[in-house]
Amino acid sequence: MYDTAIKELNAFLKGQYMGIHAYEHLIQSTDDFYIKKELQEIQKDHKIHAMRVAERIQNLGGTPVDDEGFIGSIQEFMSRWTTPTATDDILRTALKGEDFYGIQMSHEIVKGDLDPQSQQLVDEILHHDQKHVDRLRNLLQ
């Protein structure tokens, strides 16, 4: 009955793992203590979001994925050589990841395929991710 919701939530969860790993590279690339702390806070939010989505999948009777999947691991592997080191570039990369991949692509992944409770969870997470976008934009100014 919830097979579609489980599948879509798992796709959304893979995106959360991709974000967690992307932030890991960005955090390692900066020597700016303040920026590092800001990125760590956002990464921590993604970890909490991943836990909440995994719990929802389990509550629906499914098995949550535990990584970003094959395509995500290839992207993560490639990002090791393309991670910027300048603070503004790190922030721009994080901003693009949050805004385009984190929010816009996530809306497409789960569009219309979730039960009301799962949709509410995803909407809460995406609303929180929008706050990350705002936070990153402020850091760039």
Burial 95-117 (b: 16+ CB within 10 A, else e): bebbbeebbeebeebbeeebeee
Q: Which domain holds residue 42?
A: 3-140
Q: What is the CATH number of the domain that holds 33?
A: 1.20.1260.10
10 CB-near residues (< 8 Å, 6+ apart): 57, 62, 64, 65
Choice between 39 and 76, residue whose per-residue pLDDT is larger: 39
Q: How many domains does the chain have?
A: 1
Q: State residue 1's pLDDT score.
A: 62
Choice between 120 and 21, residue whose per-residue pLDDT is larger: 120
Helices of type H across 1-141: 3-29, 33-59, 69-82, 87-96, 105-110, 116-140
pLDDT above 80: residue 60:
yes
Q: State residue 47's pLDDT score.
A: 96
Enter the pTM of the model.
0.86
